[in-house]
Chains A and B, each alone.
Chain A
Amino acid sequence: MADEVKLYAVGGSPFVCRVKIALNLKGIEYQNFEEDLSNKSADLLKYNPVYKKVPVLVHNGKPISESLVVVEYIDDVWKGVPILPQDPYEKAVARFWAKFIDDKCIPAIFKVFGSNGDKQAISEACEQLQILENELASKGNKFFGGDNINLVDITADFLAYWLEIIEEATEIKLVTKDKFPKITEWADNFVNCQVVKEILPPREHLLAFFRKRFGKA
């Protein structure tokens, strides 16, 4: 029986793109249902009643939500290119860093732009970014996953692509090559990965969106 894979998505969302990268990495074909978040589809509300958010993956009729839960599900079901290491300890390390990026890093960065560049918010965000910078520096690899991208790289997709666009839209600079050379290099490598490049939303669309969102249009 052929697999039926549907993705309820918003193309511009970094959280949705995490799932798209994972699907692309494994070579999984799926149907994309683009959502209008101001007018959510009945399907989305049915498949994610708790949060009513994207991404939602529906595999053979069964819905899975929360981007990192979906990515781990994809890795669990489809073999091929691994997203998580096999070794339990290495897996734990990857999950730790993915959680750090999701729970600490990204919210701290959102706060910077939400507060229109408040100094305290910038300082806190830089603290979290420095932790990531140190981690990349200490391992000396191309990606958090080593030679290839893994769960951590995928989780950090926002930092590699969206962040720079919001910085341009708001004229608030967080990640400079001087301050965060490793993150800058990693970001460049990440967005040039074939599986990532293919699914990233167009830069001009995001720039226009963020200019409007942050009132600089």
Chain B
Amino acid sequence: MAKRGEIKLLGTAASPYVNRVQFVLNLKSIEYEFIEENLACKSELLLTSNPVYKKIPVLFHANKPPICESLVIIEYLDEFQPDVHRILPSVPVDRADNRFWANYVDNKYFPLYEELRQTPGKEDKEAIKKQIIEGSVLLEEAFEKFSNGKAYFGGDDLGYLDVVLGCFIAWIEFSSKRNEFNAFDEVKTPKLAKWAERIRSHESLKGAIPGNETLMNFYLMLQIHKPPRAT
């Protein structure tokens, strides 16, 4: 068990990649200190602890060198403390399946939302929204397979994909409202729509899900520092 003060997490409350690490720390009842980073003006701590990417989250565990990349951190926490709320399943083929979909979410699905933000022009935006919904439908199928009739990807309780995809719920809803569409459409993706509600209200997660004001501030910062492409 991690001792009090042993784990520090460098991040920002608005980042879904940070949130997913927070989800895991909460589920495993691991106490940690949260160090808020200002992405508009990156700290010395961030630049020295993650010189390769200069990105959050960064995990500090006791006197070990820092660990970066949210999925790497999650697997580390799961291996370091496997006995409290196991995140990844123990069967190798199930682990592989989970990792495959995490890869899909991070490399294919969520980047579409950033693409949507950066793309000018109504027609081009509509095309991306269509891709997002196609992706959501794929995830709905994945949910059906993993949940096997239960409430979460992990079955009766939260697992790896609940954390890996669940951290994006707030941003997905934010983006849906701004762009006047429904990424988790109740007709096309009914199970995901219900699952998202469960994630939002889950005791262990809701404290780490950013509110609208946090999201809006982060969004405005993105609009300035990584503005949408010109038409």
Contacts and interface: CB of A to CB of B under 8 A. Distances in A.
A92 B72 contact: yes
B45 interface: no
A72 B75 CA distance: 12
Contacts of B73: 92
A69 B100 contact: yes
Contacts of A62: 93
Given A66-B103, A91-B76, A92-B75, A50 B138 contact: yes
Interface in A63-108: 64-66, 69-70, 72-73, 76-77, 88-89, 91-93, 95-96, 99-100, 104
Contacts of B69: 95-96, 99
Query: How big is chain B's contact interface, by range?
Result: 20 to 34
A65 B100 contact: yes
A99 B104 contact: no
Nearest to B74: A92
Interface string B50-69: 00110000000100100111
A88 B78 CA distance: 9
Contact of B93 (A59, A99, A131): A59
B96 A89 contact: no
B90 to A, nearest CB: 10
Given A62-B93, A66-B100, A89-B64, A99 B79 contact: no
Contacts of B97: 64
B92 A73 contact: yes
A96 B72 contact: yes
Interface string A159-203: 000000000000000000000000000000000000000000000
B68 A69 contact: no
Contact of A69 (B53, B72, B99): B99
A80 B80 CA distance: 23
A171 to B, nearest CB: 30
B214 to A, nearest CB: 27
5 closest cross-chain pairs (CB), A and B: A76-B92, A88-B79, A92-B76, A73-B96, A64-B96
Given A69-B99, A92-B73, 13 more contacts: A59-B93, A64-B96, A64-B100, A66-B99, A69-B100, A72-B96, A73-B92, A73-B93, A88-B80, A89-B76, A92-B72, A93-B67, A95-B75
